[in-house]
Structure 1
Amino acid sequence: MLKVIDIEKALTRKNVLFIDVRSPSEFEDGTILGSINMPILDDEERAIVGTIYRKENPHEATLKGLSLVSTKLPNIYSTIKKYSMEYDEIVIFCWRGGMRSKSICNLLNMLNIDNVYQLKGGYKSYRKYVIDFLEDKVEQYKFIMIHGLTGVGKTHILDQLELIGEPVLNLEKLAKNSGSVFGDIVFTGKPPTQKMFESLIFHVLYSSKEKYIFVESESKRIGSVQVPESIYRRMVNGYHILIKTTFENRIEVILKDYANYLGINDSKIIASLNHLRKRLGNKAVNDLIDKVEQKDYTYVIKYLMEHYYDPLYNYSIQKYKNYDLVVDYEKIEEVIPILSDFGKSIS
């Protein structure tokens, strides 16, 4: 008998594996976090079946689909059989709980793999659950937004807070972009789609044991994705902490941040500098490119901080005149216990 589970119950399971049987392009556009892709039809095959469905009839399309899937069934069975011994439950899903997931679940049940469930409503139900959560449940969280000029170490502070178990929503890490003109230099891999970005945010909040959460001051757009309006609104209306330190400390932090990427990413740095011609002028950008080619990165960092980043961030910082806390540090380690205590004081 086919066993069905809804997304709310499925997300509470501890030792569960989600298997997405949709095509690779559907999977890449958005899936349940942590799921693996085991496509019934690849993108080309799906297009073939779809064309037959439109130009001929559903019956012929089904026959073609069956012929394409039949050769994959032994591998699907053996793979899921192995997973069934590693996980307490396996949840299989397609777009909306239709033929693709149902047919695989029925096959596995007939072959006596009894810890397999079909996800009711498929990925569509998960997507709705994420959207509803971000719209309706986010009000329960108190956001603590960390502000400061470039180089004060906001990302390092988030990382250190996370290491000691404090709740952190690192939007730049999730977006794989630091939200600036040089945002993609320190990140590898393809950035998430908007759907996946929202899913990543959802899972951080959903799994948080606290009702407060630290987040870095961001604009709505980070690289290729946007912070959902409900999240951004909650950030703006939350608590605000301003971090300060010396100019020398800030240069040291930036050099540390980019140390592993300088030299090998000079072409990316130069491309990013070219985007600043309108803002800084051709002469300044040409001089900066010369300095990059000479490996004089300290000069480039100082110039950009004084003439680009500080004016930009000062405007943002001044929008929040009454900060809940201002921390001016000599050593960045001093900041962590202060912020941790602040979080606990509002919980």
Structure 2
Amino acid sequence: MNQTDQQLFRSLLLSDTPFIDLRAPVEFLQGAFPGSVNLPLMTDRERQLVGTCYKNSGQEAAIVLGHQLVEHDIQNRINAWAEFKQTNPGAWLYCFRGGLRSRLSTQFLKDKGTDINIVPGGYKALRRYLIEVIEQACEQPLIIVGGNTGCGKTLLIQELDNGLDIEGRANHRGSSFGKQVTPQPKQISYENQLAVDILRIFEHSSSLVIEDESQSIGTVHVPLPLFSSMKTSPMVVVDDPFEVRLERLRFEYCTSMTEKFIRALGEEAGWQAYDEYLHRGIYGIRKRLGLEKFNTLNVVLEEALKQQKTTGSTQGHLNWITQVLNDYYDPMYRFQLDKKAERIQFKGTYQEVKDWLTAKRR
């Protein structure tokens, strides 16, 4: 990839350029770029037929078949591209390699009086560039923020102008209670968005601050080069009082999630989904808790839910959250942190760690 293309890709991504993604829906669903909308030249079935024809009979026959397959609906597809370009004057267009599909589509648009730029090399080149951004970021200084569950590590990352929020972009809190109301992104989309976030951070900083996390965050994974660097980078540890952590978790798991589920699904369905979310969270750690503690926690949770539904108060949830911290999260994290002791450079409260990181920012 030449330097001119790299500079162009960086400029397009940092300026939130809208993209028309011409790939078939099945390709788009596997992963896309921020700001992209799928307005395909061919449907999945049409793409499959053209691909088979290309393999068996060559490019010329595939082009002829492609024209035949799309001609019944091509005006609707051109109109959709033209409308998007009119609404988004700075839009660019790409197919997988920036080749035939892109050239045909831009010609169709030009015949209609609309000009649009093609991303050189298409999806493949832009994707490769973002992978390189992540790999190059690993060569820069990283600082990892650790701390027991409820210490507000994600909130702290979000408040730092060089914080890379790997959980927020994963749309998951990275724990048994990490599921959010909306789905997680596909792995490729997750990686693409992280790379764009890194580009933005490096506009004003040469370092990254990242939360201490396992490679798996729900259904997505931290890109391997980044995770490998995280495992050897210096750490700071947030050590907030137990009561402060409890209140944070009560808000995150209960107050906030109740509101999100009900806002998304309505009163009855939202409450049911919230109820299932908490039960599923406890079920996810049942093996570590043991059957007796698991059953006890379920009873405590049921009482808390009953109280919340009757009075609106989430206070009763502190009872099971306390037990989960004492019996599961805190012992587990202490064990993990002991193995990383030599990497710890600073330890303090949320505000003390934030001040230290701000002073150290590069």
Q: With structure 1 as the length reference, what TM-score do the two structures score?
A: 0.85
Unaligned 5+ residue runs, structure 1? none
The match for 1:210 is 205
User: Residue deviations 1:205-231, cap 9 Å, x none?
Assistant: 112221112211111221112212221
Equivalent residue letter for 1:297: H
Which segments of 5 or more consecutive residues in structure 2 lack a partner in the other structure?
259-270, 305-315
Cα pair 2:169 2:190 within 8 Å, conserved: yes
1:167-178 mapped onto 2 (5 Å cutoff): 167-178=162-173
SS at match of 1:16: coil
Distance 2:196 2:218 in 1: 20
Q: Provide the C-alpha distance between the structure 2 equivalents of 1:59 and 1:139, rounded to a whole number of angstroms.
A: 44
Bigger mean CA offset, 263-272 vs 219-228: 263-272
Once the two structures are superposed, what CA deviation does each residue of 1:278-326 show, in whole Å capped at 9, x if it has no partner? 2211121111112222224212101110010001111222223242211
Give the equivalent residue in structure 2 for 1:200.
193
- Equivalent positions of 1:121-200 (< 5 A) are 121-135=121-135, 137-161=136-160, 166-184=161-179, 187-200=180-193
Rounded to whole Å, the distance in 1 between the matches of 2:352 and 2:58 is 69
Go from structure 1 to structure 2 and tell me whether the alpha carbon gap of 1:272 and 1:122 turns closer, same or farther (over 3 Å shift). Answer: same
Percent identity between the two aligned chains: 28
1:312 aligns with 2:332: yes
Tell me how large the CA RMSD over aligned residues is.
2.5
Pair 181,230 (structure 1): closer, same or farther in 2 beyond 3 Å: same
- Aligned twin of 1:260: 256
Structure 2 residue identity aligned to 1:206: L
Query: 2: distance between equivalents of 1:83 and 1:239?
Result: 46
State how far apart, in whole Å, the 2-side matches of 1:324 and 1:211 are. 19
Check 1:7–1:104 CA distance in 2 against 1; reply closer, same or farther (3 A cut).
farther
> How much has 1:139 moved relative to structure 2?
3.9
Q: Which residue of 2 aligns with 1:340?
A: 358
Report the CA distance between 1:248 and its aligned residue: 0.8
**Counterpart amino acid of 1:291?**
V
Pairwise CA distance, 1:42: 2.0
Instruction: Quote how far apart the aligned CAs of 1:128 are.
Output: 1.6
Q: What SS is found at the alignment partner of 2:184?
A: coil
Distance 1:51 1:294 in 2: 60
Aligned to 2:287: 278
| 2:134–2:198 CA contact under 8 A, matched in 1 | no
User: Against the structure 1 CA distance between its residues 22 and 236, is the aligned structure 2 distance closer, same or farther, given a 3 Å change threshold?
Assistant: same
Q: How many residues align?
A: 329
Whole-Å separation in 2 of the counterparts to 1:201 and 1:268: 27
Letter in 2 for 1:320: K
State the 1:70 CA deviation. Answer: 2.4
Three-state SS of the structure 2 residue aligned to 1:22 is coil
